[in-house]
Amino acid sequence: MSEKIRVAVIGAGPAGIYASDILLKAERDFEVSIDLFERLPAPYGLVRYGVAPDHPRIKGVINALRETLDRGGIRLFDNVDFGTDITLDDLRAHYHAVIFATGAIEDAPLAIPGIDLPGSFGAARFVNWYDGHPDFPTDWALNADQVAVVGNGNVALDVARILAKHVPDLLPTEIPANVQAGLEASAVTDVHVFGRRGPADVKFTPLELRELGEVPDVDIVLDERDFAYTEADEATFAGNNQKKVIRRIFDGWLKREPGTASRRIHLHFWSRPVEVLGDGHVEALRVERTALDADGHVVGTGEVTEVPIGQLYRAVGYYSSPLAQVPFDELHGVIPNAGGRVLDGDEPVVGEYATGWIKRGPVGLIGSTKSDALETVTNLIADVDAGRTWQPQQPAEESIPELLRARGVEYVELDGWHNLDAAERALGEAVGRERIKIVSRRGQLDASGSSQGE
Domain locations along the chain: 5-105+320-448, 108-317
* Domain 5-105+320-448 shares a fold with domain 108-317: no
* CATH 3.50.50.60 for the 108-317 domain, yes or no: yes
Average pLDDT over residues 327-345: 95
Write phi, then psi, for 331 (nearest 5 degrees). Answer: -65, -45
pLDDT at residue 51, rounded to an integer: 87
Is the confidence at residue 288, as pLDDT, over 80? yes
pLDDT at residue 59, rounded to an integer: 74
Is the confidence at residue 157, as pLDDT, over 60? yes
Range 370-392 burial, b when 16+ CB lie within 10 A, else e: bebbbbbbebbbebbeeebbbeb
Average pLDDT over residues 360-379: 88
Reported as a pLDDT band with limits 50, 70 and 90, residue 263 is very high
pLDDT at residue 453, rounded to an integer: 47
Average pLDDT over residues 196-202: 94
Reported as a pLDDT band with limits 50, 70 and 90, residue 454 is very low
pLDDT at residue 57, rounded to an integer: 75
CATH topology of domain 5-105+320-448: Rossmann fold (3.40.50)
Among 56-70, 223-237, 383-397, name the one with the lowest average pLDDT. 56-70
Closest CA to 105 of 313, 317, 314, 320: 320
Instruction: Provide the percentage of residues in the chain whose pLDDT is more than 90.
Output: 85
Reported as a pLDDT band with limits 50, 70 and 90, residue 451 is low
pTM of the model: 0.93
Is the confidence at residue 313, as pLDDT, over 60? yes
Tell whether the torsion through CA atoms of 232, 233, 236 and 237 is positive or negative.
Answer: negative
Per the prediction, the chain carries an average pLDDT of 94
Average pLDDT over residues 162-171: 96
